[in-house]
Chain A
Amino acid sequence: MELIRLDNVSLLRRTQEEFSYDLKRTFFSMLEGNYRKPVRRLVLDSINLTVNAHEKVGIVGANGSGKSTLLKLMCGILEPTKGKVRVQGSIAPLLELEAGFDKDISVYDNIILYGVLLGFSRAEMKQRAREILEFAEIEEFKLLPVKGLSSGMKARLGFAIATDVQPDILILDEVLSVGDEHFKMKCKKRIDSFWQGNATILVVSHDLDFIRQYCERVIWLDRGKLMFAGEPQETVSKYLKYST
């Protein structure tokens, strides 16, 4: 069964440096008649792609090649300029884990806040909070503001909240294990259980050994173009050859 389908998807984005962000300057440049329309750059170029249920797909490519942008399109954070993105089932993003935290409010409040942002109801999160605190092993800091946690603890909390889900599609952007050795093992176990389970997984990583070992199919992006998609061994070696 097809879970994700991208038909001829292109994305144009405004380059931020081009933009003035300034009411005064925009107003005067319009008066003087030299107002320019902001320049847009092609970030993804006619991508065709399908992902089937239970597939584990790796995405490789140089920095800035559009890997994370592609994931954002699948999550519905960005809308394609051209083409169509279709996704069936729930998607859980697991991108830079601490982004949702608010440093000034307590750990418990953050669990509720982050969980609701990720799509759970408040009632559900109240029930899950204890399990999450337990998994992250920070029960005793429940009422402390998050800025009082060490960075390792924050990472653990982020991981615990974001992975305490049963999504149809899991998206991993360079986050596979965090914290100390003991916690890394725990993370690995949880990721492994996703891996063995029915979840469809999309993973962006520069760890090519990991990609080769765990993924069933690999997609190689370069400057917004889909260069190749296929067997892990084949794709990775093509990518390596191209890069050197």
Chain B
Amino acid sequence: MKIFIDPPNSLILFDLVERFGHEPLSVMATIQERVDNLEIDMPPMNVTLTDVKNGLKYAGIEVPSGIRGRLAVWGPLIDQAEAAIIMEDAPYSFGCVGCHRTNLLVDFLVRKRKLPTIEIDYPRTEEDARNMVIRVKEFLEGLK
């Protein structure tokens, strides 16, 4: 099954989803498509002007273009997804390399689609990690 992972560039989630026999929908694959086919050559942007317009499907015109640009790339992944794993409070999804408003909108879009979803916290202790991996494993095995 196609599993949307949030954060969509997470190594931990990408690996776990693949390890337990599903296809992770990640932002890296979308970026690869753009780099290989569209010849994105406008550093540091990863989107085209058309993408930002397409982002209107997922966020209103009053929403900052950074959020709309992100959703233009992530939104189609949510549309394709058959299930989702949301990892809350990942340290890199907030601050200079992340965008909390986008994260909230992504959570909203996933919940709106009523997909089978599991919400987990970013592991900070051994106990957290144990619970997280076991819950993810049970969730992914239950989807088969």
Q: Is B one of A's binding partners?
A: no
